[in-house]
Chains A and B, each alone.
Chain A
Amino acid sequence: MNFLPMIIVFPLIMAIIMNLLHGKEKAVKYLTFATAIVLIALPFIGEYGYYYFSGHGVVDGWISGIAYLYNPAKQAVIITLSLIASLVLITGMGEKLKNNMFVTLSLMGFASISAIVLADDIFNLYVFFEIISIVQAGLVFLSGTEEAYKAGLRYMIIGSVAAALMLLGITFLLASTGTLNISDMKHHLLTDNPMVYGGLLLLIVGLAYGSGLPPFHNIKADLYARSKGFISAMLQTYSKFVLVGLMLIILKLFNGLSYFSSAHAVLIALGVLAMVFGVVMALLQSDYKKLLAYHAISQGGYVATGLALGTPLGIVAGIFHAINHVIYKSALFLGAYIVSCKRGSNLHKLGGLLPLMPYVAFMVLCAKLAISGVPPFNGFQSKWMLAEAAMQVNMPEIAIIMIIVSIGTFVSMMKAFYLIYLKPVDEETLKEYQGKEVPKLAVFSLFVLTALCIIIGLDPSLITNYLWDYAREIGVNYCLK
């Protein structure tokens, strides 16, 4: 028996049970630890290939039910996702309030992102896309401040428009092809019908909303900045993998068709704009979490550009960068959470934390070097691959923009490092720092993530070996003249 649906069903069952455990803090704590351990095992229980829900496979030449497609590339994404989810869940249990709703919503989010990545059915993808947009708003509401309420509400209002437009796009595709299954739809798309253009346009609107590409980058960055540090780590993981999942589906459907070349340009432009906007906005921020939030947008732009190139190398580089990005950015957000336990996240009020927590400072420095693309960390490997992919299709200007944006990232990251850890402070502040504890579980998660940064940086083939087959299947080689 193929246990593939358990990747989605197990977290959902646990989420519903957790919802009922409101107020029973001990039960919540131990059950969360158990769930976090099981999550890591989940990606390994499924078998590769198609999975048909309710047993409705091919009938009269059509795939009649809902299908999932599992392959090594998707497995790599889900392994990363489950690792980050379980580390974040463990970190969340270090808080004073053992929050059952945090666990519930995180597990719901985990299940929906896995479904979006696995889905070979475009309406099923939309259903889980809707769940994830509500879950993200809910996770932000958990921090309970006025700004958090505003950010979450804005995200939901814009989301109701953007997700509805995406549904309209899906109905366009359904009407013109007569099926919702992506593998089937690919065979019936070949007719040159304007409805397919309309569907593609509206899918791109949903993609930009779900992953925080312009014009939705501000609301997304607000979302990351207003929630608690470990929740932001979760949120940015979700949106990176929504980007990967949706982008792979758009590529699978349209890549190689004659009319896709202009849409290509739009997708690449969205990616480049996100890269540049993100880093420029980040240079202006004086709040540490806002700075990290805009960097998350900027790195999302890298992923989108790599995937939008549409060549096998570009696709591998894009997915690889998404995986690396969620690892080091989660480390940075956990670092921000540890710092905010000491004294808020305003860069001008912090300083002098290096002697108090040298290990944390070192690990955060590693993550900062990784995000700026310094060898031997993982960020270097994937940025190198992205630049190589851009050169391969004869677009050197994209490679140059990538390098300039990396420099901007390095500058703002080092500024933040100086202001938080190195800037001298007076005696009173030091005393205030010593009165507050460092959350130990967060430091543990930070250690695991930093170790992963270095391991993947030394041997990138650990991940890229998983990705090549699927990338060759949906990628198309071309070169601009």
Chain B
Amino acid sequence: MSSKRDLVVAISFFIFGASILYSLANMHVNPGVNIVYLNHYIVPNYVCAIIFDWRAYDTLGECLVLVVAVMVSWIVFGKSLYDNSYLKEVFHAPESDDYITLQRWGDYTPIIKFLAYPMSILMVALGILTVLGGHITPGGGFQGGALIASGFILSIIAFGSKSPLWFDHKFLERMEALGALGYLLLGVAGMFIGGYYLFNFTQINGIPVFPAPKDIITAGIIPYLNIVVGLKVLAGLSTAAFLLSCEKVIIEKISKSEEKLE
């Protein structure tokens, strides 16, 4: 019985894969709308112009995917559950007072600690540079935010709870909300100034929105969008890493929600 079923599954996968490969083999690429994107200059970084000006609304959606994913991971680990008896079964009482229970892996050697500290500072600095220069150099909010978050994660892995680079989880939560709200509200501002949602306005009453040299005066709100996306990605990725590595906060959440239900 099961071998027949396997056969059917194998054949249907084969047909499916073959049809996809067949259509790939007959690929004719039509440049289409990309020519429009290349012929109209907005900022020196053309990718950034597409992401934050031509298709800025898609970027908002991409940000919200990350926001929702982080929210759902909070829920998985016990925020606002209607019933958390199952989660309590899964998580037992904490074994140590350490904030992050990475200690079972053993302490890292001083070499790693010595290298990780300056490295994470460098990564944070590079990340900030990438975010702020997103509209003129390769990079942008997403990449820069991910760089800062990886510096943070590196430091946590090397030092555990005594990490010199530390964000509180409530602070991270607020920062993420601030990033997403900032993006949404910049869009609303564009709606009131230019008439369209996420309109890229370069000046208000003659005052330039983004003071810059003459060549990149058209950047308008793009640098600000970069910054809010950077904040949001940094907070989102840090929270995700933090939730996966830290049990104590989860257990605290569970006991707090119990008090509320009683």
Contact = CB atoms under 8 A, between A and B. Distances in A.
A127 B79 contact: no
Contact of B71 (A123, A138, A199): A138
A198 B24 contact: yes
A2 B34 CA distance: 28
B260 A97 contact: yes
A123 B57 CA distance: 11
A456 to B, nearest CB: 32
Interface residues of B, number: 69
A384 to B, nearest CB: 37
A115 B83 CA distance: 32
A145 B39 contact: no
Interface string B178-211: 0011001101101110111111100000000000
Interface in A143-166: 143-146, 149
A1 interface: yes
Contacts of B81: 141-144
B212 interface: no
B86 A144 contact: yes
B34 A178 contact: yes
B37 interface: yes
Interface stretch (A51-59, A421-429, A466-474): A51-59
Contacts of B200: 54
B27 interface: yes
A193 B56 contact: no
B112 interface: no
Interface residues of A, number: 75
Interface string A168-197: 100010111111110010001000011101
A437 interface: no
A452 B83 CA distance: 33
A64 B27 contact: no
A193 B82 contact: no
Contact of A138 (B35, B75, B87): B75
B80 A20 contact: no
Interface stretch (A11-19, A206-214, A301-309): A11-19
B180 A60 contact: no
B262 to A, nearest CB: 10
Given A59-B40, A64-B36, A97-B261, A138 B31 contact: no
A124 B57 contact: yes
B203 to A, nearest CB: 15
A142 B184 contact: no
Contacts of B187: 5, 9
B30 A188 contact: yes
Contacts of B192: 1
Contacts of B125: none
Interface stretch (B59-67, B147-155, B242-250): B59-67
B83 A145 contact: yes
Nearest to B194: A55
B195 A55 contact: yes
A53 B36 contact: no
Nearest to A138: B72
B57 A142 contact: no
Main secondary structure of the interface of A (DSSP, over half): helix
A228 interface: yes
Main secondary structure of the interface of B (DSSP, over half): helix
Interface string B1-30: 000000000000000000110111011111
Contact of B33 (A64, A130, A138, A202): A64
Given A9-B184, A16-B184, A131-B68, A53 B56 contact: yes
A128 interface: yes
B101 interface: no
A97 B82 contact: yes
Contacts, number: 197
A332 interface: no
A22 B196 contact: no
A9 B20 contact: no
A319 B126 CA distance: 52
Contacts of B184: 9, 12-13, 16
A104 B31 CA distance: 40
A387 to B, nearest CB: 32
A195 B28 contact: yes
Contacts of B23: 172, 194-195, 197-199
B119 interface: no
Interface in A92-111: 95-97, 99-102, 104-105, 108
Interface string B87-108: 1000000000000000000000
Contacts of A403: none
B115 interface: no
Which of A20, A63, A96, A102 has the largest number of chain B CB atoms within 10 A? A20
B220 to A, nearest CB: 10
A62 interface: yes
Given A53-B56, A195-B23, A64 B37 contact: yes
A13 B30 CA distance: 38
A177 B196 CA distance: 27
A59 B36 contact: yes
Contact of A127 (B65, B86, B180): B65
A197 B23 CA distance: 7
A117 to B, nearest CB: 15
Contacts of B61: 115, 124, 127-128, 131
Given A177-B32, A198-B19, A66 B83 contact: no
B28 A60 contact: no
A20 B177 contact: yes
A398 interface: no
A62 B33 contact: yes
A104 B64 contact: no
B30 A101 contact: no
Contacts of A25: 260
Interface of A: 1-2, 5, 9, 12-13, 16-17, 19-20, 22-23, 25, 51-56, 59-60, 62-66, 95-97, 99-102, 104-105, 108, 115, 123-124, 127-128, 130-131, 134-135, 137-138, 141-146, 149, 168, 172, 174-181, 184, 188, 193-195, 197-199, 201-202, 228
26 contacts: A1-B191, A19-B177, A22-B80, A54-B57, A54-B190, A54-B197, A54-B199, A55-B194, A60-B39, A97-B80, A97-B257, A99-B82, A115-B61, A123-B55, A134-B72, A135-B72, A137-B72, A141-B76, A144-B82, A174-B32, A177-B32, A178-B29, A194-B23, A198-B20, A198-B22, A199-B23
Give the top 9 A-B pairs by smallest Cβ distance, nearest first.
Answer: A178-B32, A198-B23, A127-B61, A178-B30, A138-B72, A144-B81, A101-B80, A55-B196, A5-B197
